[in-house]
Structure 1
Amino acid sequence: MTEHLRAYNSLWQVRSDSWCRLEEAADRLTRPDTAGALKDTCLATCQELLSRLSTLEPYWAYPGAPQFARVQRLFAGGSYDKFCQSVARINRALTQESYRSGDVENAGADELDMFPSDPRQLEGQTEAERDRPYFEVLVVEKMTEAQERALRSEVRKWRRPDDEFVYELVVVDSGEEALIAARLNVNLQAVVIRRRFSAKSTRDLSALTEFVDTGVSHDLADHYSPEERAHILATSMGKLRPELDLYLMTEIEVEDIAGRLGQYFRRVFHAREGMLELHLSILHGVAARYRTPFFSALKQYSHRPTGVFHALPISQGKSIVNSHWIKDMVGFYGLEVFMAETSATCGGLDSLLEPTGPLREAQQLASKAYGSRHTYFVTNGTSTANKIVTQALVAPGDIVLLDRNCHQSHHYGMMMAGANVTYLEAYPLDEYSMYGAVPLREIKSKLLALKRAGKLDRVKMMSLTNCTFDGIVYDVERVMEECLAIKPDLVFLWDEAWFAFARFHPVYRTRTAMASAQALRERLQTPEYKARFEKYLAEQTADKPSDDDLLDRRLMADPARARVRVYASQSTHKTLTALRQGSMIHVYDQDFDQKVAEPFHEAYMAHTSTSPNYQILASLDLGRRQVALEGAELVQRQIENAMQLRDAIDNHPLLSKYMNCLGTAHLIPDRYRPTAIDQPLRSGLRNMMAAWHDDEFVLDPSRITLSIGRTGYDGDTFKREQLMDRYGIQINKTSRNSVLFMTNIGTTRSSVAFLVEVLVNIASELDQAISEMSLGEREHFEQAVYRLTKRPVPLCNFSGFHPAFRDHSGAEPTPEGDVRRAFYLSYDDTNCEYLTGEQVDEKLDAGIDVVSATYVTPYPPGFPVLVPGQVFSREILQFMRDLDTKEIHGYVPNFGYRVYTEKAIEMVGAAVGLPSNGHHPDTSPPKPAKKKPPKRVDDALGAADPG
């Protein structure tokens, strides 16, 4: 059975499918025509499924031990009709979640439960008409069955009609099983730890070994007092599920224990006095996370009668409902959207630029949910969030280390801030025409070079993308620790635009910016780390390693000097629930209040609209509520759906003939994976945890890069002609020979099934078309496949800034360039000209530097191949010629590349004291003026070869 369970990636799916299969087997068992061998098969199937479920059901409140025991008795006693009825009712309640009403005894009894509710009915429902949210509470204590029944009965008696929520209990008797329950049961919102619980379970947990934390079990088994064991369990529970409210119930020295352990628990109660108060505290704790201060204020405002004598005719829908021509706008969007429209920052709605009321509360709740010290809402996307952080931290002349393949907003942010940029190169994946992530060795080499040049004091910030579009995730904590060993006050900006969901999964969380910042800060303060650092420092002093040696050593930051200064920008709207352009900035910066608060406020003011969209802000508030209460469930389902999609493609005989899902071994070279685990999640949770703990890079399994080279389609054609035009399937990213599918918290099993069906249709049509091809057509097809699978396009590295835009003051040359100076030089049109690829080749043949005057960004891959001030290279030109894409920002068809004239470069070089390079100003008669390009690329007729 253990091997069968490993075919799944989350046991909630095992449980759900097991109940469904049990209902099918029970129904078949009770049919009149079931006899002989068929009946024996049905009996064996039911027995196997009941055995499997018996290992899982103790960790959920429904159906609960009494009902499940009754199902087992009915089966064992041969009452198959009643057994079938009971199983059908339980499965119906689980499938439609009718048990969440709180009436667990009668859940699933109504046959209408088999039909899901129409989501359109939610539109007109009032708060009172909606079902009360349901959750479960874990109680950790040894209890007899009679005591457990009595406790459940007592809790139900405390319910009141005006309670906001309803909950049921899950009872386990050991710390070992408490952690299993926290991993498996996503309905849990609170944990009550009592004094009397054992370290290890008396049950057979062999089928759940993947979920047993042997380290904690060993710690709990030592001879600690009950309160010390409660502390160990609470600490482990907090790391696993930080959103859970933890409560401690004890019988002795409650005042002393509250003083010593209160920081680990929401409340500490005396066991004989606090039961009702515990009940109320549990409801209050969930209510605190359920609160949406800004959304509630906006709802309240929308229902107030107001006289609008300011901007926004659309406020309260008045310009629409009184119109003869656009009333359909109300029909489509609903009236509430317009009732909530206002430009007022008073009346309880608060100001985004100077929040003091509900908006400030909403941001504080978000900060708690995401583990930051400060969180700020952004209403115009993570592009703006990146610019805000960059401008707040970077002054003109500061050196910034930047991932060259990052989003274009970082490049523009550097230009606006006046940074001197040192670009970092990611490892290439030529076979798939994409880049991975920036190796730590590359980062350290750049920092050490700047140190040798005497410029380390000017290095301010490093910005990296975690995780990349293709799902490559950094070891964030290690990167920051080793960089701080070289530059103790380095600031980090982690672009987590596509990684906001990661906070709500226990393994993913360890590689997020905020969790890593907190973990690093705490570790630097421990006596153990300080002792290890003293030993490390002595070894370094004795060995006197060279810079080359340091590149291959694990560096340790000085705990007395290192400052943990970390920022993360996240597109909430991309991976969690928020309206388009709803993003957040998370801050974990020890020096924020002293050094950054004022410039951050100014940068925020500079880039934030004074007329923000309040619906976006309210959706960020609601999205925070959602992940604070059900993030663990949603992310778990997201990953399971992704793995099901991978399995459906790779195990399908026809699909696997033409396409395959790229895994860790395809996208991360062996040298960055010391664990050598090719498919960490597929081989079990323990392997995933090992890889995410030890490997330099890991792959986010929720992203599926599908290699399609064997279909003969390039990625862009496959996306447009097959997926989007024919089937309406939307995807963001392609490469020459791959397409990227991303699951999210809204992905359903039905949508996964639809995608598989579409891919099978495409593969079937392709298979038939190939079988009917003529010899010439077959040769053409095979050449296309060969080009896409056997002829990789070599990816080009950053060639370098022209010396005219570099700083030459150091002890040795360093590669950073002044992007702002290079960018604004092009504002004088006389400094620029347009050259085709062939003309650039001619100049390079003549030994003349050709310098880009603008950003040139092909889509895909979507990062600048050229930036202002960068010199052209033959590798870049060849890369551009080999691209299959027609969308190239910064390249004008029929005119070519916008570059600086030789005269302009010579003028800039002279201004910074560069010696003449032999290219003298042009003194020949003026050439005929080149034809001016159109104002918009779209206006250019025809398409010239980018080369």
Structure 2
Amino acid sequence: MDSVSDYYSATQLRSDRWSALREVTGSLAKNPSGKGSAKDRAETQKLFEALALIEPYWAFPGMSAFDHMRRQFEHNNFDNLAFSVQRVTRALTTGAYRRRHIPLENDSIDKDEHDDEALLSPEARALTKPYFEVLIVDNVNEQQERWLRSNVTGMRRLEDPFTYEAVVVPSLEDALIAVLFNHNIQAIVVRPGLVLKSKLDNEILQSFLNRAGGSEAIATMKPENYGPELCRLIAQVRPELDAYLVTERSVEDVAGLDLGICRRVFYNQEDFMELHLNILRGVGARNKTPFFTALVNYSKQPTGVFHAMPISRGKSITRSHWIQDMGAFYGPNIFLAETSATSGGLDSLLEPHGPIKEAQELASRAFGSKQTFFATNGTSTCNKIVVQALVQPGDIVLVDRDCHKSHHYGMVLAGAEVVYLDSYPLNEYSMYGAVPLREIKHQLLALKAAGKLDRVRMLLLTNCTFDGLVYNVERVMEECLAIKPDLIFLWDEAWFAFARFNPTYRQRTAMRTANNLRKRLRTDEHRSAYEAQQETLADATDEELLDVRLIAPPNARVRVYATQSTHKTLTSLRQGSMIHVNDQDFKGEVEQSFHEAYMTHTSTSPNYQIIASLDVGRRQVELEGFEFVQRQIEAAMSMRRAISLHPLLKKYFKVLTAGDMIPAQHRQSGVTSYFDNEQGWTDMWDCWQQDDFVLDATRVTLAVGGTGWDGDTFKNDVLMDKYGIQINKTSRNTVLFMTNIGTTRSSVAYLIEVLVEIAKELDDLLDDASKMERLSFDRRVQNLTEKYPPLPDFSRFHDAFRPDNVTPEGDIRTAYYLSYDVSNCDYLELEGSLKAALDAGEEVVSASFIIPYPPGFPILVPGQVISKEILEFMLALDVNEIHGYRADLGLRVFTPEALAALPKRKVIKTAAE
């Protein structure tokens, strides 16, 4: 039996333990006294002991049935035991327990035993009642537990929209473990009889407690506060759940407490029907999809279409003799739900007042924002909307240089003065990391010294990056607000929408941090800490400020925006995205300009199917996001472990760890890898709480230089063409595998099989290779793993596009539009005229965005001086796709005459002057 350290999660451990129990009890039933029976008995005993720590937190099969199976084992009733275990395991695997009662007796008949939920048609699955579990927290004996369970579940009626089963645990610790472990739990009933400590104790359960605030914090609670404190603690780790508090305390006492996710308080009564109705109402509130429901209802209405869109109601297809295949492929509903009308129960995305407005409000609740806006043309447009709404010409914006190109174009449209921030380089893998906080503070302090802090408007960062690097969002925001108290933050969370629904990941999301920061800034403790630090730093130099963790002033304004590609990491049709707002000044300062920017970039004919998918995707993550994201992380962790342990794969591949991708000075926890071959899994919680940067475990970056193939070739010629495995991103010697909420363990297993097959083929190839062929292979590997071009930093804007030489901001808009006149531009060949000009000491200025894929970010922007380092990097690139560069002509640059003809920019006086 594998050890606990071989598993990242208890969910995966439970699944494998039941499968192992099925195998060993089946063996015992076939040969109860044979040669291997003693070993099988010992293995069965260990499995029962392991499962005994897990099963109390699940409704199925339930502790009563589990204990019965243990007694069958103790009494050598192996036939009945094997039958019961087989039924349980199959029901857990297929999800059958969610749809019907599963009989475990050997002589029972289950007509639907072989039905797999995944094999049912979508129509059949849609007709079944959704299933969930209710956690009851009360320290009761076995007889009282049966009474509780029967009273709660006995209230269920045929007309109920959902069905549920109850799980009873005795203590606050058990309740926290249950909600972190059992993804089926949707509601918690906290009764006055709960106690503090769990009777169970093992390393997995302890690690789960740490994620809920730790045992030390729990141990200091007063007994009379156990119920309210439990509601508050659950709100920290699974805020989407509903809690119901049954208390014997007075209404005045309870009203003054922080009750977290508590929806209603019941005062010392046993009104189980009222509790039942509240539980259904709470889950129903999350299950509600106002726009999707409106669209479904619209599709069923008989209508006469006298507006644009011949495809509406499918008329132009059903009457056609030539495009019937399109109708057959998509089915009728998508066309029945297609319209350009905003009446008949539908709504306008540009001026929502009905179901779209309600759907956006529900999304705001789910993602923790103050306002949420839907977008049907991708996060690229969301980024431009936010920038246009907040930035005016002449405002200074600090921008992550290797962020998505939409931000750079947004700076052009807004007319911002851009200060580009350099990320730390990962030269060995031809990729950039993220922007160190020290670099951000350095630029802010320099702008402050130059008297320009009043013009600094926004900090724009990507979180998480394409390669999975995640900022310490709260520290970045607080230290920046300490220098610029009204700074606006735009966090590009295009790849991070899923993070809201995992307790570890959530703490580094923009909306969660904004809400926490708003609360903390108002506390007396924070005010005292700020005042004390101000006294200490009264005469501090800028260099000293760079080394101190700064505290934001209590009057700082929390102004945070996040853009998310829902379609990238959650369930949505392509280009479905959201803008989340948590801006204290939105209503008074931004609302009108935001509305104008939204109108500017949003189509007057948005795709209703995309809007409906955003609505349904929100419903999904509120009800099962915790489960899906957990399984996503499990899949990625399994991939890491399998590759790290396989002796053949280690010859040619390497999974990049946090230690490979994050310099030591940014990893305060000291964690270098989430999996160690000797010690097993490392709990990510500590590093996600402490470190400047952490690595998103759902992204597995694989170094492939040892195969002799560059990343692009490995992606296209090997993975895609030969094995049908699709990936997005590569670097010169890496490929990135991104798991998502749809990734299965079977998908991971297939990938491992493919990698093993590739490694075996390489072994065979090298075994048969001639001396020259082997030398060629070794040279290719050396070129990819040892001879790598250094990544260039942002050089600078040409003086023609800078207000002064004091601070580095540049006018990207003027440079961009200057290139529209072809007479202002020329083309220089990389290895010819451009190299000669740089060797001669001439200043050559880019007239275009130059974006190589990979890595996919601009290495040159309009108005940027081309350095020798940038030229060397471009010459070393072995990619076929470079946006903005024409191989037949060369690099587009400004002529000296065009630069000289520009009017002299007005120099802004500094405070010192």
TM-score band, normalised by the shorter chain? over 0.9
Letter in structure 2 aligned against 1:836 = E
Over 3 Å counting, the alpha-carbon distance change for 1:264 and 1:704 in structure 2 is closer
SS of the residue corresponding to residue 6 of structure 1 reads helix
Pick from 880, 884, 900: which aligns with 1:906? 900
Pick from 55, 66, 73: which aligns with 2:64? 66
Letter in structure 2 aligned against 1:594 = G
Shift of residue 261 of structure 1? 5.5
Aligned alpha-carbon RMSD (Å): 1.9
Shift of residue 114 of structure 1? 3.8
Shift of residue 172 of structure 1? 0.9
2:391 is matched with 394
Aligned residues: 902
Pick from 533, 546, 549: which aligns with 1:554? 549
1:525-544 pair list within 5 angstroms: 525-541=522-538, 544=539
1:290-301 pair list within 5 angstroms: 290-301=287-298
* C-alpha distance in 2 between matches for 1:150 and 1:102: 22
Letter in structure 1 aligned against 2:623 = L
2:704 is matched with 708
Over 3 Å counting, the alpha-carbon distance change for 1:133 and 1:198 in structure 2 is same
1:832 is matched with 825
Letter in structure 2 aligned against 1:538 = E
Over 3 Å counting, the alpha-carbon distance change for 1:846 and 1:913 in structure 2 is farther
Q: Deviations over 1:216-250 (max 9, x none)?
A: 65555557352x22222111110011011011012
1:394-433 pair list within 5 angstroms: 394-433=391-430
Letter in structure 2 aligned against 1:113 = E
* C-alpha distance in 1 between matches for 2:681 and 2:788: 34
Q: Deviations over 1:719-755 (max 9, x none)?
A: 0000011111110000111100000000001111111
1:334-483 pair list within 5 angstroms: 334-483=331-480
Shift of residue 270 of structure 1? 2.4
* C-alpha distance in 2 between matches for 1:272 and 1:714: 68
Pick from 774, 782, 787: which aligns with 2:783? 787
Q: Select between 180-189 and 680-689 the one with higher mean Cα deviation.
A: 680-689
1:863 aligns with 2:821: no
Q: Select between 695-704 and 198-207 the one with higher mean Cα deviation.
A: 198-207
* C-alpha distance in 2 between matches for 1:482 and 1:259: 33
TM-score (norm 2): 0.96
Over 3 Å counting, the alpha-carbon distance change for 1:615 and 1:257 in structure 2 is same
Over 3 Å counting, the alpha-carbon distance change for 1:192 and 1:780 in structure 2 is same
2:110 is matched with 110
Shift of residue 35 of structure 1? 3.9
Q: Deviations over 1:256-311 (max 9, x none)?
A: 53465566520011232432101100000000000000000000001111111110
Over 3 Å counting, the alpha-carbon distance change for 1:714 and 1:111 in structure 2 is farther
1:928 is matched with none
Letter in structure 1 aligned against 2:416 = A
TM-score (norm 1): 0.93
SS of the residue corresponding to residue 669 of structure 2 reads coil
Pick from 586, 604, 610: which aligns with 1:616? 610
Shift of residue 117 of structure 1? 4.5
Shift of residue 528 of structure 1? 1.0
SS of the residue corresponding to residue 45 of structure 1 reads helix
Task: Report % sequence identity.
Answer: 56
2:653 is matched with 659
For the Cα contact (< 8 Å) 1:211–1:685, is it kept in 2?
A: no
SS of the residue corresponding to residue 460 of structure 1 reads strand
Shift of residue 6 of structure 1? 2.1
* C-alpha distance in 1 between matches for 2:66 and 2:623: 27
Shift of residue 210 of structure 1? 1.6
1:719 aligns with 2:715: yes
1:171-186 pair list within 5 angstroms: 171-186=168-183
2:6 is matched with 7
* C-alpha distance in 1 between matches for 2:525 and 2:907: 52
* C-alpha distance in 1 between matches for 2:629 and 2:875: 41
**What 5-or-longer segments of structure 2 have no aligned partner?**
909-913
* C-alpha distance in 2 between matches for 1:216 and 1:253: 29
* C-alpha distance in 2 between matches for 1:6 and 1:906: 67
Over 3 Å counting, the alpha-carbon distance change for 1:177 and 1:362 in structure 2 is same
Letter in structure 2 aligned against 1:695 = D
Letter in structure 1 aligned against 2:567 = H
Over 3 Å counting, the alpha-carbon distance change for 1:799 and 1:221 in structure 2 is closer
For the Cα contact (< 8 Å) 2:179–2:238, is it kept in 1?
A: yes
Letter in structure 1 aligned against 2:862 = P
For the Cα contact (< 8 Å) 1:572–1:583, is it kept in 2?
A: yes
For the Cα contact (< 8 Å) 1:567–1:586, is it kept in 2?
A: yes
SS of the residue corresponding to residue 470 of structure 1 reads coil
Q: Select between 723-732 and 146-155 the one with higher mean Cα deviation.
A: 146-155
SS of the residue corresponding to residue 511 of structure 1 reads coil
* C-alpha distance in 1 between matches for 2:470 and 2:903: 40
Over 3 Å counting, the alpha-carbon distance change for 1:106 and 1:602 in structure 2 is farther
* C-alpha distance in 2 between matches for 1:611 and 1:301: 17
For the Cα contact (< 8 Å) 1:96–1:113, is it kept in 2?
A: no
Over 3 Å counting, the alpha-carbon distance change for 1:538 and 1:650 in structure 2 is same
2:891 is matched with 897
Shift of residue 120 of structure 1? 7.1
* C-alpha distance in 2 between matches for 1:354 and 1:194: 45
Over 3 Å counting, the alpha-carbon distance change for 1:109 and 1:415 in structure 2 is farther
For the Cα contact (< 8 Å) 1:216–1:236, is it kept in 2?
A: no
Shift of residue 102 of structure 1? 5.0
1:250-289 pair list within 5 angstroms: 250-254=247-251, 257-258=254-255, 260=257, 265-289=262-286
Q: Select between 100-109 and 235-244 the one with higher mean Cα deviation.
A: 100-109
Letter in structure 2 aligned against 1:14 = L
Letter in structure 2 aligned against 1:487 = K
1:493 aligns with 2:490: yes
1:626 is matched with 620
* C-alpha distance in 2 between matches for 1:736 and 1:61: 50
1:776 aligns with 2:772: yes
Pick from 816, 819, 822: which aligns with 1:823? 816
Q: Deviations over 1:630-657 (max 9, x none)?
A: 0000000000000111111111111111
Over 3 Å counting, the alpha-carbon distance change for 1:330 and 1:118 in structure 2 is farther
* C-alpha distance in 2 between matches for 1:462 and 1:393: 11
Pick from 53, 56, 63: which aligns with 1:55? 53
SS of the residue corresponding to residue 53 of structure 2 reads helix
* C-alpha distance in 2 between matches for 1:619 and 1:372: 20
Shift of residue 119 of structure 1? 5.1
Shift of residue 835 of structure 1? 1.0
Letter in structure 2 aligned against 1:399 = I
1:108-257 pair list within 5 angstroms: 110=110, 112-117=112-117, 121-122=121-122, 124-125=123-124, 130-205=127-202, 208-213=205-210, 217-222=215-220, 224=222, 226=224, 228-254=225-251, 257=254
Q: Deviations over 1:122-174 (max 9, x none)?
A: 1x4495xx211111111111111111112222223211111110111111111
Letter in structure 2 aligned against 1:87 = V
1:921 is matched with none
Shift of residue 65 of structure 1? 1.1
1:745 aligns with 2:741: yes
SS of the residue corresponding to residue 503 of structure 2 reads coil
Pick from 833, 840, 851: which aligns with 1:846? 840
SS of the residue corresponding to residue 891 of structure 1 reads coil
Letter in structure 2 aligned against 1:558 = P
Q: Select between 281-290 and 686-695 the one with higher mean Cα deviation.
A: 686-695
1:508 aligns with 2:505: yes
For the Cα contact (< 8 Å) 2:28–2:40, is it kept in 1?
A: yes
Q: Deviations over 1:315-343 (max 9, x none)?
A: 01000001000011111011100000001
* C-alpha distance in 1 between matches for 2:740 and 2:528: 43
For the Cα contact (< 8 Å) 1:102–1:167, is it kept in 2?
A: no
